[in-house]
Homo-oligomer: A and B are copies of this chain.
């Protein structure tokens, strides 16, 4: 497995693979890999002849008060995981390589990034679109795999790729969960043991919402009221948002008339967790 630290070397490797007819699959990550990432990597492995992952904690998607400095890192473990899955190259540029002095170019996806996480994290999606553009230009992948846990991120990347004519196929991967149902996230490492049962409420609230819809409930307000009460009624968690949206535009809807995204962001102690599910009126 190659470890590549510079953009120039990454591009050279990609050009070389492409010249030999290889198909490059790419999984961008911020490291501290968990089983969710491993599933994305396995999907890339299955669909490509050369698999690249990137490990880069991207400062432009963190606001000043957020957890960039304390974001968990464990490069050695990450490399072991990557080897285990059969990754061909790990691209690990340093900060200066990705954001040299004078850096000033940003990619903005204006509409789909406004709602949901865009409200409480206004710089987040600009940072994500910018770094993913940069990574795509470095890795030159044929396809790239993103988890559906960051549903708004996936919608933003799909829109960017289409709008910018990027010749990259975007593959969405279903949310991977721990055995107890908690959606996998590097930030789960922040949870204290006594917070875990509270964290599990997110996944259960999604199931509760689907049950309501399956029983015929179509009023978004009614569903969100019950979801919020279930998660935070006792004050053990604090809801950042609980919204039901059109899964393509991410605009709020009032009535459920087709597949609808229920997206949650919840503070459990000092940890912000997200989770989501497509509610199916016919399911």
Closest residue of chain B to A20 (Cβ to Cβ) is B19
Pick out which of these stretches binds chain B: A163-171, A175-183, A192-200, A265-273. Answer: A163-171
Closest residue of chain B to A103 (Cβ to Cβ) is B163
Q: Is A115 an interface residue (CB 8 A)?
A: no
Interface residues of A in 85-99 (CB under 8 A from B): none
* Interface flags, A125-162, vs B, CB<8A=1, else 0: 00001000110011010000000000000000001101
Contact: B104 with A105, CB < 8 Å?
no
* Chain B residues with CB below 8 A from A19, complex form: 18-19, 21
Q: How far is the CA of A145 from the CA of B72 in the complex (A)?
A: 44
Q: How many residues of A contact B (CB 8 A)?
A: 33
**A159-B110 contact, Cβ under 8 Å, with A134-B165, A165-B138, A166-B137:** no
Q: How far is the CA of A104 from the CA of B163 in the complex (A)?
A: 7
What secondary structure prevails in chain A residues at the interface with B? mixed
Contact of A108 among B7, B106, B112, B162 (CB under 8 A): B106
Q: Is A11 an interface residue (CB 8 A)?
A: yes
Q: How far is the CA of A110 from the CA of B159 in the complex (A)?
A: 22
Copies of this polypeptide in the complex: 2
Q: How far is the CA of A134 from the CA of B165 in the complex (A)?
A: 6
Closest residue of chain B to A97 (Cβ to Cβ) is B165
Shortest beta-carbon distance from A6 to chain B in Å: 10
Q: How far is the CA of A271 from the CA of B269 in the complex (A)?
A: 62
Q: How far is the CA of A183 from the CA of B262 in the complex (A)?
A: 58
Shortest beta-carbon distance from A21 to chain B in Å: 7
For the complex of A and B, 4 pairs with smallest distance between CB atoms: A105-B163, A137-B165, A104-B111, A104-B110
Given A104-B163, A106-B107, A137-B167: 14 more A-B contacts, CB < 8 Å: A18-B18, A19-B21, A102-B111, A102-B249, A104-B112, A105-B108, A105-B129, A105-B159, A105-B160, A105-B163, A107-B108, A134-B163, A137-B164, A140-B167
Interface pairs (22), CB distance under 8 Å: A11-B165, A11-B167, A18-B18, A19-B19, A19-B21, A100-B162, A100-B163, A102-B111, A102-B159, A104-B110, A104-B111, A104-B112, A104-B163, A105-B107, A105-B110, A105-B164, A106-B107, A107-B107, A107-B164, A108-B108, A134-B164, A140-B167
